[in-house]
Amino acid sequence: MNLILFGPPGAGKGTQADILIKKYNIVQISTGDMLREEVKLGTQLGKAAKSIMEKGNLVSDQIIISMIKKRIIKPDCKNGFILDGFPRTLQQAIDLDNILGKLNIYIDKVIEISVDEDILLKRITKRALESKITRDDDNSKILNNRIVVYKKDTLPVLKYYKNLNKLYSIDGMQSVERVSKDIQKILTWL
Ligand code: ADP
């Protein structure tokens, strides 16, 4: 089972991915987490990504794709994976298809978790207040930019998967349990 979890910042992708990886014994691949790890380790890649992330802008497709290429061939991906926060641009989606095609792997479904903008802002502000690990990009000014970037660069990706008949949208403003049930309903049709 190879999935993409799609949605704006604060939609709850990480929370839902956590539930799914346990239930289906698959791995989560979060480009955001991978980048934050590089920043923490102080690698060259991390140094290049840090200031871009802090502004809420997108790291270059080239960097992201090279990270994904290495990750996706690891043996733990054999049983399936959930992509979280990737692809975020049309180019990334096209490159992903090329990479997977060569490996004879396919994306089964793309699940969009949709949440209204005012609720996103409230959720992320709350996350910033409660979280022990503060993220530099979880403040309202940067969040606004992340939402602008999402609409401009990332929303076109939805259309791409819609045209491929792979897109399923669910209401992300319900409880965590309800959202999870809705996702699992979609997955049982696989
Ligand atoms: P969230 O899910 O809260 O939107 P992420 O953890 O997925 O945030 O990403 C945090 C930041 O990392 C993004 O704002 C961006 O700068 C960078 N990033 C993560 N994934 C990608 C990607 N696929 N392409 C470009 N930049 C990315």
E-state strands within 17-146: 27-30, 81-84, 109-114
**Does the pLDDT at position 128 exceed 90?**
no
**Does the pLDDT at position 129 exceed 90?**
no
Name the residue with the closest Cα to ligand 1, atom 3: 9
Q: Which residue has the higher pLDDT, 150 or 130?
A: 150
172 Cα to the center of ligand 1, angstroms: 19
Ligand 1 atom index nearest CA of 31: 20
Q: Write down the pLDDT at residue 159.
A: 95
155 Cα to the center of ligand 1, angstroms: 14
Give the angle subtended at the CA of 23 by the CAs of 178 and 128, to the nearest 5°: 60
Residues with CB under 6 A from ligand 1: 9, 13, 31-32, 35, 52-53, 56-59, 64, 85-86, 88, 92, 137, 146
Name the residue with the closest Cα to ligand 1, atom 14: 56
Ligand 1 atom index nearest CA of 124: 3
Three-class SS state of 189: coil
pLDDT digits (tens, 9 = 90+) for 104-123: 999 999 999 999 988 988 88
Q: Write down the pLDDT at residue 134.
A: 65
Q: Write down the pLDDT at residue 2.
A: 97
Q: Write down the pLDDT at residue 189.
A: 67
**Does the pLDDT at position 131 exceed 90?**
no
Judged by average pLDDT, the poorest of 60-64, 83-87, 99-103, 129-133 is: 129-133
pLDDT digits (tens, 9 = 90+) for 15-69: 999 999 999 999 999 999 999 999 999 999 999 999 999 999 999 999 999 999 9
